[in-house]
Amino acid sequence: MAKKAKIGVLGASGYTGSECVRLLLRHPQVEIALLTADRRAGQEMREVFPQFSPFGLPKLVPIDSIDWAACGLDLIFAALPHGTTQKVIKDLVAKSPTIKVVDLSADFRLADTAAYARWYGHEHLAPELQRDAVYGLTEVHRDRIKQARLVANPGCYTTCSELPLIPLIDAKAIDLDEIVVDAKSGMTGAGRAAKEAMLFSEVSEGFHAYGVGHHRHMAELDQEFSNAAGRPVVVSFTPHLVPMNRGILSTIYVRSEKSSPEDLHALLSKAYAQEPFVHVLPYGRLPQTRHVRGSNMTFIGLAKDRIAGRAIIGSALDNLTKGASGQAVQNMNVLLGLPEATGVDQVALFP
Amino acid sequence: MAKKAKIGVLGASGYTGSECVRLLLRHPQVEIALLTADRRAGQEMREVFPQFSPFGLPKLVPIDSIDWAACGLDLIFAALPHGTTQKVIKDLVAKSPTIKVVDLSADFRLADTAAYARWYGHEHLAPELQRDAVYGLTEVHRDRIKQARLVANPGCYTTCSELPLIPLIDAKAIDLDEIVVDAKSGMTGAGRAAKEAMLFSEVSEGFHAYGVGHHRHMAELDQEFSNAAGRPVVVSFTPHLVPMNRGILSTIYVRSEKSSPEDLHALLSKAYAQEPFVHVLPYGRLPQTRHVRGSNMTFIGLAKDRIAGRAIIGSALDNLTKGASGQAVQNMNVLLGLPEATGVDQVALFP
Amino acid sequence: MAKKAKIGVLGASGYTGSECVRLLLRHPQVEIALLTADRRAGQEMREVFPQFSPFGLPKLVPIDSIDWAACGLDLIFAALPHGTTQKVIKDLVAKSPTIKVVDLSADFRLADTAAYARWYGHEHLAPELQRDAVYGLTEVHRDRIKQARLVANPGCYTTCSELPLIPLIDAKAIDLDEIVVDAKSGMTGAGRAAKEAMLFSEVSEGFHAYGVGHHRHMAELDQEFSNAAGRPVVVSFTPHLVPMNRGILSTIYVRSEKSSPEDLHALLSKAYAQEPFVHVLPYGRLPQTRHVRGSNMTFIGLAKDRIAGRAIIGSALDNLTKGASGQAVQNMNVLLGLPEATGVDQVALFP
Amino acid sequence: MAKKAKIGVLGASGYTGSECVRLLLRHPQVEIALLTADRRAGQEMREVFPQFSPFGLPKLVPIDSIDWAACGLDLIFAALPHGTTQKVIKDLVAKSPTIKVVDLSADFRLADTAAYARWYGHEHLAPELQRDAVYGLTEVHRDRIKQARLVANPGCYTTCSELPLIPLIDAKAIDLDEIVVDAKSGMTGAGRAAKEAMLFSEVSEGFHAYGVGHHRHMAELDQEFSNAAGRPVVVSFTPHLVPMNRGILSTIYVRSEKSSPEDLHALLSKAYAQEPFVHVLPYGRLPQTRHVRGSNMTFIGLAKDRIAGRAIIGSALDNLTKGASGQAVQNMNVLLGLPEATGVDQVALFP
């Protein structure tokens, strides 16, 4: 076997970081060579995530302690909070000519740095890198990812909405001004930061919408849908929180004057027929999040509405896997020239 | 104090039946005089629902054993499965001229018996009673309920959608052909029948849509929205299951050319200003189901969408209380001439 | 009706504070006249707990702003964090000769101030008040509570273990050196402070023990069991966290050479025959937490073990109600000379 | 690579059956050649468990349709309901001289057929096979499993209790008459049969004990502990249900006059130092079920009690993996001469 690639995970004490570690531990062609976590620096990974107790893993170190030029890494996953990654990656790129980067934050997702500044409230700190960053929705941008050094891994909500909608928009099969995306996410999407609103007792046994009218993932949706359409597209998007750990379900309401629901379904089936991680269910069936839990799969279904000209689409994925770290490893495989499903082909854990 | 009204609950071994008992046990002006449960007949209520162990309650009897003419009841709640109630109530009405009925099933909700036959798959068995049945959405039909003998208590999904939408439709404030209702319900809405799909391990840690394009509550929505509009209205309606016991949240997408979101909010606030069980949140805030749990409240919120001309409405209630047995007791109070909030003014249980 | 008592709740932004408000809002003989919350001072209660949106409530104020001599209160509930109450109550008592206090913290539960210092890591700040404080396990110390000014409301775990065990210890019916208490609590017992370990994603879908060998509630158990036995008693006690909001179940393993399990059950049944809030189930049945949710009930059951001479006891209560605020209101009723169940007789919310 | 072994799963429509399929799908040296499910015969696996939709799997067939002599299978997993397997395996063994069997039911776990009849209420139907069956607690009986044809895979509760206790009993380190096992299980342990008591709304948001004094897993515990001790051992065992899908935590109370808690911990650490699927945590730490979810690991911890001479042991595993199908695949590997961790080395899914 070829020499294993040496991989680092920045931000290993968060949920997307630990999900990268879960997947990389069983990836036959990589070696976890570096784990960082500023606040937990000096600790063993098992103290932060006891599920890793049986495994040998590098001790957590602070990012500042890394000598990028000498560390010998082939690729890093940046699983840092939004807004902190641009500076870190700029520094890394300046010091190392070779380390590839899959960034799981939102810092490099928006090609338009003015849009970034508008949605995130501060100037982009590495606009020169942004130019070369590739948006990492693997199934859509695979060819560009192959050539990239810096991949901006998409958001969980956006992956879940873009996979079913981009082929339909691309084919001009649906009305672009009548798209409603009602999205529901498990709690891990909110991360591991201690916030009152995310306490078990606050969120169990209940359901609610949030970020109504102004969720940041809208900026990504706008970018990708507009690119696909060749003209500006703005969808109605409302996220909700479900009392479960993992999973996103997007229920998407579309209208089409010229394509029947059966046509739309056929179009999606054809678009993803060869994709290992996107599965289109039989016509009329909608997916459940539990059936993709822990896997890198996206399940997509489409049914006709009782109102003529309308269809209802369901799209389900695990927000930590295909919605974050699973797609990140998928992108790593593309970047390293490995078979795309290597180490990320876990079967869903249900029940 | 006046003599207490004698009340019966048919179907006391189900969730809406037990919720009636919970509320009636603390209602100062009624006495629970009869409890039926065919399959559990002969058992004590505490064997079926141990939470009632400390309370004296009548033993469960089969419906067939009741002598309607001689039982001395003032009112019964029929919490029987859909499709079985028409016959029971027909028999009761034939034998007793005075007992009032609040029916929690769907059997008398559709004024159009042809629509009933179409949605429920069999002929209506008591069309002559249907003529006098009043649809029990209390806030909308209170005056007619006062005069009724038979009240058809609305469905949980329908109450949750009708309360926010009827005032807007009534005022011709929204586009009638662009209404999308994305509804999410807790598991008690599925009842207590043992079904594989409702097992804990099947439904926890996951989320999914069901009944896409053909849920029976659509028939009620059609009826009430069309009545309010004075012309046929058909909305897009998709129910989902949330891994929680109680609660429905409807996220409703509306469009209006002439009314701003602020106008729509003002309209709802005014419509419900005097209602004890409908509370409109400040503009821009959407409700959470957990904040109405165990109470008879409906919380309604409205926010503007980022797309001009669109608004997003949230409506939350407890499906067993305002969505079923709480509204049933509210209707009982109206029928018996009691203050409407008597015995049904519990404060929500959060957390 | 007599003039309503004026009540204050210190620490109204926490779970036991809000549970006091839930109960007091429907108590016919009191008026909520004061709510404090230092960090949320200036806000309306509805911003902190939206379930109270429909109700008129005093605005949250800081404790320091209260003029105890002039506030006109009859009684306050202190629902403050452990360790902060001694100073507050000392100040209150110094300034007002009449306001009664029900303290929900642990600050006045241990009669032995040396034991307090040992378990809580700092000197007792109001030892002179400790002398007059009465431990508020209502069923056991009712007569002393009637005469008290300061009631130290018991902990949730301790109430749940003491109610079944004290009658048995008192009657010398069980072996004092072989008691194992395996206790399981819902998450609200951990309070509302934002801690990583209490996030939904950390605690859902899992189960674990904590505080093994050194949980502070042990000090209360030691005190009450030793008092009942007339000699030192130390039990084995291990708490666990259940992914649910409310409820404690204690599974208690006892041995008896002289009393049969049937005798032990008879003893408990007799001890609580007249108590409104302690219900002993039929011999051989153990309780479930869900059947006391939101109520002030404790359900106790006892079954024989398959090992001769051993019995297994189950005890279930709602940690926020009988385990905290419900018992606090029960104690308030005793202090104010009101019927003990007034305002705290809610029927459990199941499902 | 050598030819893949051909494997059948009897009872593939239940949870332990589907868990076998999840693991076998990613096992590099086996091929799933047969799936049975009597009530779902004729359906595709994806209709019964949609998570398998992306995979090619044999259609479900009835057991009666199988020609054991000609089917060409190397090994079958019997994941059938208790009480139905003896007849099926007897038939298989009569017709095929070579197919190996890992039975996940309780049908062959008790070496003493009289004990079987007593606990299960009917005569053993294949006593001659029972003689050759090996109890499949891999870490304890590995050498005998290697030689076996029929492995009786242990119960979930029993694996969780036996792994920590057998080394201690074996070493005569603990008092055999003072062992209390308080066990807590997730809901999948109850299987997929539709029962009212297992509905989401019945079991969420609550906690309770069941089978008090008479759970069938006691028979297995008695057998294995008595074997280890060389004299009869009967432990106190009480199972509880936790509102979660997967996981068992056993909290075990032991007493030792001669060994300190540190000694007991050292003994366990040494016993399992080389085992891939049993991990002993550092002294004083107890495990959480969530950290073994979906993996074949057992985490064991031991802490001293505050009472001299007593220790508290925690043992956690996933009831469907190490507690059932994971250990079954581990046993298959032993039977087939494959490395023991092949295909069953998934990292736990947390959160």
- Predicted confidence band at B292 (pLDDT cuts at 50, 70, 90)? very high
* pLDDT recorded at residue C215: 84
pLDDT at A323 over 90: yes
- Inter-chain residue contact B288 with A207, CB threshold 8 Å: yes
> DSSP labels for A307-319?
STTEEEEEEEE-T
- Inter-chain residue contact B212 with A303, CB threshold 8 Å: yes
Question: In degrees rounded to 5, what are phi and psi of residue A10?
Answer: -90, 125
**Residue of chain A minimizing CA distance to B301:** A209
pLDDT at C89 over 80: yes
- Give me the helices (H) in chain C, please: 15-24, 45-48, 85-95, 113-120, 127-130, 138-146, 156-170, 200-203, 217-229, 261-271, 326-336
Instruction: State mean pLDDT over B164-182.
Output: 97
Instruction: State mean pLDDT over D112-123.
Output: 95
> DSSP labels for B260-294?
-HHHHHHHHHHHTTT-SSEEEPPTT---BGGGGTT
pLDDT digits (tens, 9 = 90+) for C93-133: 999 999 999 999 999 999 999 999 999 999 999 999 999 99
- Predicted confidence band at B214 (pLDDT cuts at 50, 70, 90)? confident
Among candidates C26, C245, C246 on the partner chain, residue whose Cβ is nearest the Cβ of B347: C26
Among candidates D244, D290, D312 on the partner chain, residue whose Cβ is nearest the Cβ of C212: D312
- Inter-chain residue contact A194 with C195, CB threshold 8 Å: yes
- Predicted confidence band at A184 (pLDDT cuts at 50, 70, 90)? very high
- Inter-chain residue contact C205 with D312, CB threshold 8 Å: no
- Predicted confidence band at C290 (pLDDT cuts at 50, 70, 90)? very high
pLDDT digits (tens, 9 = 90+) for D185-209: 999 999 999 999 999 999 999 999 9
pLDDT digits (tens, 9 = 90+) for A8-18: 999 999 999 99
What single-letter amino acid sits at C281?
Answer: L
Instruction: State mean pLDDT over B309-317.
Output: 98
Contacts 24+ apart (CB under 8 A), A51-56: A51/A22, A51/D290, A51/D291, A51/D292, A51/D293, A51/D295, A51/D347, A51/D348, A51/D350, A52/A18, A52/A21, A52/A25, A52/D347, A53/D279, A53/D281, A53/D291, A53/D299, A54/D276, A54/D279, A54/D297, A55/A25, A55/D347
The Cα of D300 is separated from the nearest Cα of chain A by a number of Å equal to 12
Catalytic residues of A, which ones? 156
- Predicted confidence band at B216 (pLDDT cuts at 50, 70, 90)? confident
**Helices and strands per DSSP (H, E), number in chain D:** 11, 14
* Interface membership of B351 toward D (CB under 8 Å): no
* pLDDT recorded at residue D216: 86
Residues from chain A that touch C190, judged by Cβ atoms under 8 A, are: 201
In B, residues 233-252, which contact D (CB 8 Å cutoff)?
243-245
The Cα of A50 is separated from the nearest Cα of chain B by a number of Å equal to 21
Predicted ipTM beyond 0.85: yes
pLDDT at D1 over 70: no
The answer to whether A314 and A282 are in contact (CB under 8 A) is: no
* Cβ within 8 Å of residue B274, ≥6 positions away: none
pLDDT at B1 over 70: no
Residues from chain C that touch D202, judged by Cβ atoms under 8 A, are: 351
**Residue of chain B minimizing CA distance to D50:** B202
**Helices and strands per DSSP (H, E), number in chain A:** 11, 14
Percent of chain D with pLDDT over 90: 97
The side-by-side arrangement of strands in the sheet containing D60-61 is: D60-61, D30-36, D5-10, D75-78, D100-103, D150-152, D134-135
Which chains share 3+ C-beta pairs under 8 angstroms with B? A, C, D
* Interface membership of B210 toward C (CB under 8 Å): no
pLDDT at C310 over 80: yes
Count contacts between B and C (CB, < 8 Å).
Answer: 84
* Interface membership of D33 toward B (CB under 8 Å): no
Instruction: State mean pLDDT over C286-313.
Output: 97
From the list D209, D212, D220, the residue with the least C-alpha distance to D155 is: D220
> What 3-state DSSP class applies to B304?
strand
pLDDT digits (tens, 9 = 90+) for A66-86: 999 999 999 999 999 988 999
pLDDT digits (tens, 9 = 90+) for C269-283: 999 999 999 999 999
Among candidates C54, C288, C351 on the partner chain, residue whose Cβ is nearest the Cβ of B245: C351
* pLDDT recorded at residue D217: 87
- Predicted confidence band at A217 (pLDDT cuts at 50, 70, 90)? confident
Question: In degrees rounded to 5, what are phi and psi of residue C135?
Answer: -70, 120
pLDDT digits (tens, 9 = 90+) for D227-257: 999 999 999 999 999 999 999 999 999 999 9
* pLDDT recorded at residue D333: 98
Among candidates B287, B294, B297 on the partner chain, residue whose Cβ is nearest the Cβ of C294: B294
pLDDT digits (tens, 9 = 90+) for D62-105: 999 999 999 999 999 999 998 899 999 999 999 999 999 999 99
User: Is the previous residue joined to D81 through a cis bond, with omega within 30 degrees of 0?
Assistant: no
pLDDT digits (tens, 9 = 90+) for A294-319: 999 999 999 999 999 999 999 999 99
Residues from chain D that touch C245, judged by Cβ atoms under 8 A, are: 205
- Predicted confidence band at A216 (pLDDT cuts at 50, 70, 90)? confident
- Predicted confidence band at A90 (pLDDT cuts at 50, 70, 90)? very high
The Cα of A75 is separated from the nearest Cα of chain D by a number of Å equal to 22
Residues from chain A that touch D291, judged by Cβ atoms under 8 A, are: 49-51, 53
* pLDDT recorded at residue C185: 98
Catalytic residues of D, which ones? 156
- How far is residue B264's CA from residue B311's CA, in Å, rounded to a whole number? 9
pLDDT at C171 over 90: yes
* Interface membership of B205 toward C (CB under 8 Å): yes
pLDDT at A173 over 80: yes
pLDDT at A324 over 60: yes
* Interface membership of A121 toward B (CB under 8 Å): no
The Cα of D148 is separated from the nearest Cα of chain A by a number of Å equal to 30
pLDDT digits (tens, 9 = 90+) for D145-179: 999 999 999 999 999 999 999 999 999 999 999 99
**Residue of chain B minimizing CA distance to C191:** B351
pLDDT at A1 over 70: no
pLDDT digits (tens, 9 = 90+) for C172-198: 999 999 999 999 999 999 999 999 999
* pLDDT recorded at residue A54: 97
Residues from chain D that touch A320, judged by Cβ atoms under 8 A, are: 351
* pLDDT recorded at residue A311: 98
pLDDT at C217 over 90: no
- Predicted confidence band at A180 (pLDDT cuts at 50, 70, 90)? very high
pLDDT digits (tens, 9 = 90+) for A236-293: 999 999 999 999 999 999 999 999 999 999 999 999 999 999 999 999 999 999 999 9
The answer to whether D58 and D32 are in contact (CB under 8 A) is: yes
- Inter-chain residue contact D52 with A347, CB threshold 8 Å: yes
> What 3-state DSSP class applies to B191?
coil
- pTM over 0.95? The answer is yes
* pLDDT recorded at residue B204: 97
Q: Which of B175, B179, B182, B254 to mutate to test the interface with A (most CBs of A within 10 A)?
A: B182
